Structure 1
Amino acid sequence: DSTLQVIYSSTSFEKILGKDIEDIFRVPLTELINEYLSPKEIGQLKNNLKNFNIWKKTVLIERGDEVKYYEFKLQPVHYEGSSVNNYILTAHDISDYILMQQEVRRSERWLKTIINNINEMLVVFYDEGDDYYIKNANEKFKSHFEIDEIVNPEISKLFDNETTILLKEQLNKLKNHQENIVKFETTLGDLSNHYAANGSLMLDPIENKYYYIFTFNDISDRIRYERQLEEAYREELKLNVKKNDFLENMSHEIRTPANAILGYSDIIIESIEENDTATVKEFAYSLKDVVKRIIKLFENIIEVANAEDSNGKTNDIELDFRMILRESSEKYKETAISKGLTFQYKKGDDDLIIIGDLVKLRKAVDALVDNAVKYTDSGNIILRTYRMGDSAVAEIIDSGPGIEIDKIDELIKPFQQGESGYTRNYQGAGLGLTLASRLLKQMNGELKFSNNGSSGTIAKIILPLK
């Protein structure tokens, strides 16, 4: 009634409350249901009653092992022509609905826990018409795309255009039952990473709706390893070619002087038998030159190996850079002149004192001068020194066939020449530039090359001054 006391109750309501009519009749409503509400909820009920508003509340009632959920609804009743208001309280049993919702939520939490414990990125799609949307995703997927929740479910809102097209192609295969499982690789828009994707179709029996479950496994490391293996394989093939070239070069470089030794030896033997001492002496010197060439070849091979394995150890002392160039000039001048070349050493005016390894610097300079003399058939060889800022510079200039500058990196590798095989125009194992480059690098120096006009090469040594 208007005083909020119970004036009528159905037997079903009495059963819900677990009370008889005499326990309910004329009892204030707030007192009757007080045990099912919190103080705050009692206050809300009183406020609704005061303002003649409808009041609703889901109430849990336990009777032993039995648990029931009811929706209590209090509604004012206005009588026409009367200022008195009564109220009707109804209770609807919604236990099945509540329990089902609880089960759904438990299932969702359980499924979410499983999804989030999957090591791979996982995302669930669904379709609406011709478009696809994101239903859910695990934390790893959200973390990858730096999102807290899926706020734009349409896939084109999250993925780049290329990935969206690829995903739609795979989703359509599942939707049209062309495939039961799809497998493909994708970058997910990040070209630095690669993912192996697997997709499958699942029917939700409750919603009677199909969902598409996709996982993305990061295979970036595997792809990188495969590329490294491919690169290593290609490098191995290159090394095999170089090995074959090396064996061919060595065979040529050793067989030629060996044949010369045999030939000179036969001539010397015949000359001894004929007491021709002049011929013996002549070919003995020739024999000596051939042996020197072989010794130099093996010394260069050993020196290149040592330059690579010595970890840059040098016996540094104070050196006169100009003196090193002058010594090399004197050593090769006669050979150059014998080929009809003009040979000049132009000493700069500045003192060029450096700190370096005397033996290694001599070998580096000699290797470059030897190359210049060897590969120049006509014209001139010029050696010159000068200061460039805080550096000492030496240039070995020739008028030979020149070097293709873009092939310098290849030519400073061991056993490389501008030409290869038996078609080469010049003798040598192709170690000179390698040796010079490595020795100078150990002394914090540089070796640079440039073209000398229309023909010829300029080899430039740069070393820090003391």
Structure 2
Amino acid sequence: MNEKVKILIAEDLDSDAELAIRELKKEFNDISTQVVDTEDEFKVALDKFEPDAVVSDYRMPSFNGLKALEITKELKPFLAFVILTGSMNEDTAVECMKAGADDYVIKEHIRRLGPSVKGALRQKQIEKEHFRSQENLKESEARYRSLIENSNDGILLMLDSKIIMANKMLEELFEYSLEEVIQPDFDIMTLIEPASLPSIKQRLEKAQMGIYENSKQEFQGLTKSGKIIDLESSLSYINTKEGLITQSIIRDITERNADKRALIKAKEKAEESDKLKSAFLLNISHEVRTPLNGILGFVNLLTSADMDESKKLLYAEKIKNSSYRLMNTITDIIELSRIETDQLQYKESKIDLEEFIDELHKEFEDEAEQKGLKWNANISEQLNYYIFTDREKLNQILYYLLNNALKYTNKGEIGMECNVNGNNLEVQVKDTGIGIPADRQSAVFDRFVQADTSMSRDYEGTGLGLTISQGLAELLGGDITLKSEKGQGSIFKLVLPCKTEAKTNVKQEIETHNLDDVKILIVDDEETSLMYLEVLLSDSFNEILVAKNGFEAIELCKGNPDIDIILMDLKMPQMDGYTATQEIRSFNRDVVIIAQSAHAFDENIKKALDLGCNDYITKPVSHKRVLQKIEKFLN
């Protein structure tokens, strides 16, 4: 040893201590010693001197070697310790070695002391390193176990296909306790879903043959309760004297796979949606260009000088029909966009159910007869209710359903049944038309789906009526269901929750007005719209005033306080209809103001009503509709 060696000597005789030091110096080139002869001195020296080895006399007056050995083992367990004695029998020697001495030397053989201490030092170094290795191993094992136990993955160790260790996450995954899975008779294949067994068995058999596959493998597991879970396993192998140990790290990928499947489904749906939207746009293009072509074409023909009256009437009818078709297309697109962008608002009103259904009955009875169909409507005393819901949206829903029935029924009948069931309004629209195949019924309410069916190719229209109807029904808290059979017709049922109020049987006398005495003011900046409304109303009203902006309307109202009705356009230059209405209401609270606008959005309508309009009507304005609005307020 080249480093300085510190040796503590417990000896009561100075001569013996000097002899021991002399022998030790023969063995060690660089040595430092300290001699003590009491227990207290020994303890202090162990702490302060910090020796590498202890040489202790077996017997001293106030102290002895076995006590020194005991103290050393307690305080410095890896110190080399050699007993030095004048004489020693075999029993004493055994006693010392059992107590933990590394060696003993008889004083008459003092020359052995140096080699004995050197050997003891070497032995203690080996013991210290072994102890450190064991401690490091224990620490490593503790860290490994901690990592395993706290892992988010299930981990197990197998020996000859038997589980010898498993962590908590594995217990949670498969719902088996550790005590259950480490039983000798527990079959690990119990954890595998039958469909995945062949691939797992093949992999384990290859490992037993020395063919190791370390790549990840996906399979399905089976829990104790019978639940199937998606798993991913990563295997590693350790050859030991006991046999081949397989470590398996198992991760639950059920949620990941569900997300993956959802992503694939979403991708497929998006691709399908793109196709349907493309088909929808093509259909919309057709539905816009076709009537527009008819309008422009027949307008050009009407300008011919040598055309008889019968042809002019025919062409005018064609222009009217094409215009209505174009208007319906634009209306459908606007309504769908409002539903898609959540721009619709709920406006509750009190509705006389009997009158409401009767209005629909009168309108569609005429249209059914024109097509040669029988009209069947249930108008009974059961409708003697007021209902509270959004009148406009309910009207739209039923218009779409009834128009749909008319459109796809070429013979037979169409009909409508209505009743109040508790707090639900139930309306059925029936037809004997072409019907809807069973495999298409789940899709008829979906956005854009109608655009790619044979019906939308064989029949004019956007094919969005049912989509819009269902969207409006959902806004009102209701639902539309379908029963249909191909070639046998369809039944669409609207169920709408709403407050109801029974009507009394008292009939109110309605005072009717002579329209000739009614004075009307039309306010519109568009020359064409102004002219149209003047012509439209001239047969019914004798006195019609016109204004082209809000300023003119206010001046006319101030100069003519006897104006009964104002048809107020909302969008105008200089002063819009909103501002004009507000100004008029500041000096005239009685005049009826009906807003008219092409912007039939809820926020526009609400704003107009809030600022003083009594009602609204959307452009294009029909003669029948505007007269209904006017008569409603005059009566």
Say whether the fold is shared (TM-score over 0.5): yes
1:301 correspondence with 2:330: no
Mapped partners of 1:165, 1:422: distance in 2: 50
The equivalent residue for 2:275 is 241
Counterpart AA for 1:230: I
Please show how residues 300-319 of structure 1 align to structure 2 within 5 Å: 300-310=332-342, 313-319=345-351
The equivalent residue for 2:365 is 333
1:111 correspondence with 2:145: no
1:430 correspondence with 2:463: yes
SS in 2 for 1:424: helix
- Give the structure-1-normalised TM-score: 0.72
Shift of 1:263: 3.4
1:198 correspondence with 2:227: no
With over 3 angstroms needed to count, the CA separation of the structure-2 counterparts of 1:201 and 1:67, relative to structure 1, is farther
The equivalent residue for 2:399 is 366
2:187 to 140, 143, 156: 156
After the TM superposition, which of the residue ranges 101-110 and 89-98 deviates more from structure 2?
A: 89-98
Counterpart AA for 1:239: S
The equivalent residue for 1:53 is none
Mapped partners of 1:215, 1:394: distance in 2: 60
Percent identical: 22
Counterpart AA for 1:91: K
With over 3 angstroms needed to count, the CA separation of the structure-2 counterparts of 1:187 and 1:300, relative to structure 1, is same
1:134 to 149, 153, 163: 163
CA RMSD in angstroms comes to: 4.0
2:58 to 9, 20, 26: 20
The equivalent residue for 1:6 is none
1:292 correspondence with 2:330: no
Shift of 1:266: 3.8
Name segments (4+ residues, structure 1) moved above 6 Å: 21-24, 32-35, 61-64, 92-99
Please show how residues 262-277 of structure 1 align to structure 2 within 5 Å: 262-270=296-304, 273-274=305-306, 276-277=308-309
Mapped partners of 2:360, 2:338: distance in 1: 22
With over 3 angstroms needed to count, the CA separation of the structure-2 counterparts of 1:283 and 1:132, relative to structure 1, is same
Q: Which has the higher relative contact order, 1 or 2, with Cα contacts under 8 A spaced 6 or more apart?
A: 1
Shift of 1:407: 3.1
The equivalent residue for 2:380 is 348
After the TM superposition, which of the residue ranges 427-436 and 166-175 deviates more from structure 2?
A: 166-175
Cα shift readout 1:97-134 (whole Å, capped 9, x = no counterpart): 9985884465144123134326453645343xxx4223
The equivalent residue for 2:552 is none
Contact conserved, 1:372 with 1:397, CA < 8 A, in 2?
yes
Mapped partners of 1:422, 1:430: distance in 2: 8
Cα shift readout 1:9-51 (whole Å, capped 9, x = no counterpart): xxxxxxx996636889xx9xxxx789969xxxxxxxxxxxxxx
Mapped partners of 2:171, 2:161: distance in 1: 18
Shift of 1:373: 0.9
SS in 2 for 1:91: helix
1:393 correspondence with 2:426: yes
Aligned residues: 401
Mapped partners of 2:429, 2:398: distance in 1: 9
Shift of 1:418: 9.7
The equivalent residue for 2:479 is 446
Shift of 1:393: 1.9
Mapped partners of 1:124, 1:64: distance in 2: 39
1:408 correspondence with 2:408: no
Shift of 1:60: 5.4
Counterpart AA for 1:269: T
Cα shift readout 1:224-269 (whole Å, capped 9, x = no counterpart): 3322220111101210221132123223322322332243234312
The equivalent residue for 1:91 is 98
SS in 2 for 1:310: coil
With over 3 angstroms needed to count, the CA separation of the structure-2 counterparts of 1:358 and 1:219, relative to structure 1, is same
Cα shift readout 1:64-114 (whole Å, capped 9, x = no counterpart): 74279xxxxxxxxxxxxxxxxxxx978397998998588446514412313
SS in 1 for 2:442: helix
Contact conserved, 1:123 with 1:141, CA < 8 A, in 2?
yes
1:281 to 313, 318, 331: 313
SS in 2 for 1:393: strand
